Homo-oligomer: A and B are copies of this chain.
Amino acid sequence: MFELLAEEAGARRGRLHTAHGAIDTPAFMPVGTQATVKALTPEEVRELGAQVLLANTYHLALRPGAERIARLGGLHRFMGWEGAILTDSGGFQVFSLDHLVKVSDDGAIFRSHLDGSEQAFTPESVMAIQRQLGSDIAMAFDQPVSWPATDATARVAMERTHRWAARCLTAEAPPGQLRFGIVQGGFEEELRRESAEVLGEMPFDGFGVGGLSLGEPKAVTYGLLALQTAILPRDRPRYLMGVGTPADLVEAIARGIDMFDCVLPTRIARNGSILTRGGRINLRNRRFIEDSGPPDDGCDCYTCQRFSRAYLRHLFMAGEILGHRLASIHNLRLLVRLVAQIRERIGTGGLEHTMTSLRDLWALAPLP
C-alpha cells in the first residue's frame, strides 16, 4: 500500500495507495470536521492540491450519525469528495472535550456536546463507525494524555491504548480500508519508545503519532517524535496528528513524518489571520486598509491571484463570510504547497539546502 520512494536527511518521500487514489507523501490533509472543509467546496479543496482530507468520527457519529451516512451512500458521496478520506478515531475529542464521564478498559462513556446524551465509544464501535462512514484510512481508538501528565497516568493510558489497538485490528474491516494504529506514551522517552515498539509490531497499515503538541515545549515534541519515528517500521507511513504550523511541518518532515492534519489554517482564517512568508498577520489590522497588494506576495492561490489585502480587510470588518472563505483558501494552499515543495526535494540531494531556506523563511532556529 505504501511505496517508499526516497529518503534524505531524515525525511521520506512516498506514495500511499488508497481506494480513492494515491496520496503523495509528505502530505498535508485539510480538516473537514463535520463533512465539510469549512467554507469550501470539494472542488476547491482539490484545487488546493489536496489528495486526502480528514473527517471526525466523533462529530459525524453524533451528527448526522454514521448509520445515516451509510444509508446515504457513505461519506464520500455524502459530502461530494472523490479523493481519499482519513477518519480519526474520536479518541482525541472524547478525552479532550471535557465531557468524559468514565473510562475503563472496555471503552469510554461520555456526554454529547450537542445534547448532553450519554454516549459510549469502544474500540469495536469506533471501527464500526468508520466502516459505516467508508473512510479510506481508519484510525484505532486511543487515549491521549494532556501535558503535564505523570508517568503513571501516561503508562495506564498507553497500555490501554495498546490493548485497544489490538482489539481494533480484530474488528471487521471493509474492503480496501487501511488501518493506522496510534502511538502514545505521554512526554517521557521511555514510554514513547515502548509505545513505538509495541505498536510497531502490530500489523497496521500505518501509524499515527498522537498526544503531542498538547502544550509541551517544542523541543520535547520534536525529540519524542524523532525517537518514535526511528523505531516505527520504515515501510509504513507515519502521521503526526493535529500538527501544525509551517515550522512544525518542516521540523516533523525532517524527523520522518509523512502525513499531517491541522485545523489551524481554517480556524485562524475565520478571524482574519493568514499565514504569509513574512509571518502570520491579521488582515483586520488598520495598516492594511489601503494595501492594494496581494495577501501573500508570491502565493499562487486563488485569493492571492485575485484580491487585495484592502479588500480582504474590508470583508472581515464588514463581517462578510467571503473573507473567511478566501483566507481559508490561502492558508490551506500555503500549507499544502509548503509540504509539496519539500516533497519534491526529497531524494534530489538538495534537501538540506531547502530545509535551511525554509527555516530562515519561517524564522526558525533548527532544534536538535
A binding-site residues for B, Cβ under 8 Å:
34-36, 38-42, 59, 63-64, 68, 71-73, 78-80, 289-290, 292, 302, 306-308, 310-311, 313-315, 317-318, 320-322, 324-326
Chain B residues near A311: list those with CB within 8 A.
Answer: 35, 72, 78-80
Residue of chain B at shortest CB distance from A305 = B80
Are the C-beta atoms of B80 and A290 separated by less than 8 Å?
Answer: no
Shortest beta-carbon distance, A201 to chain B, in Å? Answer: 39
Are the C-beta atoms of B292 and A72 separated by less than 8 Å?
Answer: yes
In the complex, the 3 A-B pairs of residues with the closest C-beta atoms, listed nearest first:
A34-B318, A36-B322, A64-B314
Are the C-beta atoms of A64 and B310 separated by less than 8 Å?
Answer: yes
Shortest beta-carbon distance, A48 to chain B, in Å? Answer: 15
Given A72-B290, A289-B64, A292-B73, decide whether A324 and B321 contact each other with a Cβ distance below 8 A: yes
**Option from B78, B80, B317 in Cβ contact (under 8 Å) with A64:** B317
**Option from B38, B72, B315 in Cβ contact (under 8 Å) with A36:** B315
User: CA A80 – CA B310 in complex, angstroms?
Assistant: 12
Chain B residues near A41: list those with CB within 8 A.
Answer: 302, 306, 322, 325-326
Are the C-beta atoms of B34 and A320 separated by less than 8 Å?
Answer: yes
Name which of A59, A64, A78 has the most chain B CB atoms within 10 A of its CB: A64
Chain B residues near A289: list those with CB within 8 A.
Answer: 64, 68
Are the C-beta atoms of A318 and B63 separated by less than 8 Å?
Answer: yes
Are the C-beta atoms of A322 and B63 separated by less than 8 Å?
Answer: no
Are the C-beta atoms of B38 and A322 separated by less than 8 Å?
Answer: yes
Are the C-beta atoms of B290 and A68 separated by less than 8 Å?
Answer: yes
Shortest beta-carbon distance, A331 to chain B, in Å? Answer: 16
**Option from B35, B38, B313, B322 in Cβ contact (under 8 Å) with A39:** B322
In the assembled complex, 19 residue pairs joining A and B whose CB atoms fall closer than 8 Å, in A order, are A34-B314, A34-B320, A36-B320, A36-B322, A38-B320, A38-B322, A39-B325, A41-B302, A41-B306, A41-B326, A63-B317, A63-B318, A64-B314, A68-B310, A78-B310, A78-B314, A80-B307, A80-B311, A321-B321
Chain B residues near A72: list those with CB within 8 A.
Answer: 290, 292, 308, 310-311
User: CA A346 – CA B135 in complex, angstroms?
Assistant: 52
Q: A35-B311, A40-B322, A78-B310 are known contacts; what are 11 more A-B pairs with Cβ within 8 Å?
A: A34-B318, A35-B314, A36-B318, A38-B321, A41-B302, A42-B306, A59-B318, A64-B314, A68-B290, A72-B308, A73-B292
